[in-house]
Chains A and B, each alone.
Chain A
Amino acid sequence: MILVVLDHDGTKLRKGSLEALTRARQLAQALGERVAGVLLAEERAPLEEARGYVETLYVAELGPYTAEKWAAGILEAAREGVKAILAPSSRQSRAYLGRVAYALKAGLLEDTLESWAEGGQVYATRYAYLNRVTQKVKSAPPVVLTVKPNTTPLAEPLGQMGEVVTMNVPPVATVEVLERVQEERKGVSLTEANVVVTGGRGMGSAEAFKQVEELAALLGGAVGATRAVVDAGWRPYGEQVGQTGKTVQPSLYIALGVSGAVQHLAGMNKSKYIVAVNKDPEAPIFKHADYGIVGDVHQVLPALIEAVKKLKD
């Protein structure tokens, strides 16, 4: 069995789950296995939609997410034996899959770009060294594999409804959720945006980000921030790009007043085109830029906004 953890937002399956399903089907075919799904419903789970993608769907109502409960649910679904467990890469999935991988003594392949099976072994490629190196890795089954977002085409429904197996997962209550702080989301999501406009400390103030927002909106993109900006309280943490923030891979990444520290580069160095505006010609970001302007962002940014408006007219 190849088992996919189906992640959802309360109404429908997340895009990442559909990518994981595509990968699961490829592995299933190469290893001669069937594809099953597991839905650890936290209310309003898209049960019918999920059934459309798998031959067997294991379901349990586990209440609010904790890594322990999710791991227990997945292990219950995996009881009859699995060759591979797949899920989209996310902070949460890595927490429960790390447990699952240990429990199954499985090879853990995190954040994979591609995966395939050959001669009974599972292979994958992934980034390492803060996104600077690509590794080709291999493990014998069972493997636990996470799929890096936006790497894989989305699966189509099977055209038939899978069998539903309701699981009885013994309760685990080691973590009690006291309070959940939901992040508000407006506009295009940062990780899915095709254009990202990021402001760094060189922007000088929280107010100056109004123009970053304006440029991002003109280009149909999202606003990003460096850690220095988040630490200063100018922008929310959810906008941080980098090692400890989000990883983005847009067609166009514009870095305004950003120095280009490795930890920041780790979150954006796979962007197709990188543009930098910095008053310091020696700023490291220029080494990683396709286009750039050496200048004061307070003069260049308003001019950029005007130039984009002009282009659009």
Chain B
Amino acid sequence: MKFIAVIRQVPDGESRLRIGGNRVDLSSATLILDQMDEYGVEEALRLKEKHGGEAIAVGFGPERAEEAIRTALAMGMDRGIHVVYEGYADPVTVAEALAPVLKEEAPTLVLTGGQQADWDSQALGAALAEALGVPVVPWTTALELEGETAKAKHDLDEGAEWVRVKLPAVFTTQQGLNEPRYPTLPGIMKAKKKEIKKVAFQGKGRVEILEETIQEKARLQRILDGKDPVAAAEELVRLLHEEAKVI
């Protein structure tokens, strides 16, 4: 069996974003393996531990994204494939770039994060599924293999459902599916020696980003001392009523 986790490198949510020119400049940001993708790596590892086979991390992005693949290898993935592409690519283009690699590997199933922490896109899993001609189960919170099929629980807009799906299939991950493990020191040492195959992608994205601006609304920051809770609460309610006029 072969379990693939598709991953990306993104800025750490806590890191400060800067604008250079009219685009976000990540040169001084801390970059990490997308936390949503970590669930996919963890799930691939658990499936391998339970059913045997191989767990592979497939990454898309610029040269520096190799660090995120190394993180996945340090968590325990067997090997990595890096589809190298500089610049922005929309999910349809990313799926196009990854499809030949995934087809060649012929995996039992593919996992990827439910949402990207940089482009806020939720479409990669669905686009990949279409590219591979297989079903997609988005926002998976439980996954069990049953022979040629998988039984999975996933969230809908209102509520959730259990489905049975023919394999191979694409699953997008989210919180609740598992608790991702941390890379261990021996894991990090071993990861240095694991193979990362590089694949170049020549295609061009369809969606172009023209401009990015940071939208952090300036907040009033009128913070009251709550030593006298009744007085503070009354003052807050007065401000919300008279100044903000929201109650």
Binding site for B on A (CB under 8 A): 65-68, 71, 90-92, 94-103, 105-111, 123, 126-140, 174-183, 185, 195, 219, 227, 231, 237-238, 243-244, 251-252, 262-263, 266, 269-270, 272-275, 277, 281, 286-296, 299-300, 302-304, 306-308, 310-311
Contact = CB atoms under 8 A, between A and B. Distances in A.
Contacts of A109: 207
B244 A133 contact: no
Closest 7 CB pairs of A and B: A295-B226, A98-B126, A303-B233, A262-B13, A98-B123, A102-B130, A174-B135
Given A176-B163, A178-B161, A134 B236 contact: no
Interface in B216-247: 216-217, 219-227, 229-230, 232-234, 236-237, 239-241, 244, 246-247
Contacts of A105: 92, 206
Interface residues of B, number: 85
> Most chain-A Cβ atoms within 10 A of its Cβ — which of B92, B95, B137, B174?
B92
Contacts of B17: 129, 132-133
B198 interface: no
Given A105-B206, A139-B207, A183-B159, A97 B118 contact: no
28 contacts: A67-B129, A68-B136, A98-B123, A98-B126, A102-B92, A108-B90, A128-B24, A128-B120, A134-B215, A136-B211, A138-B208, A174-B169, A176-B164, A177-B163, A180-B161, A181-B159, A237-B176, A251-B246, A273-B244, A292-B221, A293-B223, A293-B236, A294-B225, A300-B232, A300-B233, A303-B232, A311-B237, A311-B241
A177 to B, nearest CB: 6
B205 to A, nearest CB: 8
B209 A136 contact: yes
Contact of B207 (A138, A262, A263, A295): A138
Nearest to A75: B130
Contact of A306 (B166, B220, B230, B246): B230
Nearest to A295: B226
B239 A133 contact: no
A295 B227 contact: yes
A72 to B, nearest CB: 11
B95 A102 contact: yes
A272 B127 CA distance: 34
Given A110-B122, A138-B207, A244-B174, 20 more contacts: A67-B129, A67-B138, A71-B130, A90-B157, A98-B123, A101-B127, A108-B91, A108-B92, A127-B120, A129-B117, A131-B120, A181-B162, A182-B158, A227-B175, A252-B240, A272-B246, A281-B223, A292-B223, A293-B236, A308-B237
B82 to A, nearest CB: 22
B213 A134 contact: yes
Interface in B1-37: 11, 13-14, 17, 24, 35-36
A108 B90 CA distance: 7
A94 B50 CA distance: 31
B185 interface: no
A306 B233 contact: yes
B127 A291 contact: no
A304 B210 contact: no
Contacts of A289: 219-221, 223
A304 B212 contact: no
A132 B207 contact: no
Given A99-B130, A133-B212, A175 B135 contact: yes
> Most chain-B Cβ atoms within 10 A of its Cβ — which of A98, A300, A308?
A98
B161 A252 contact: no
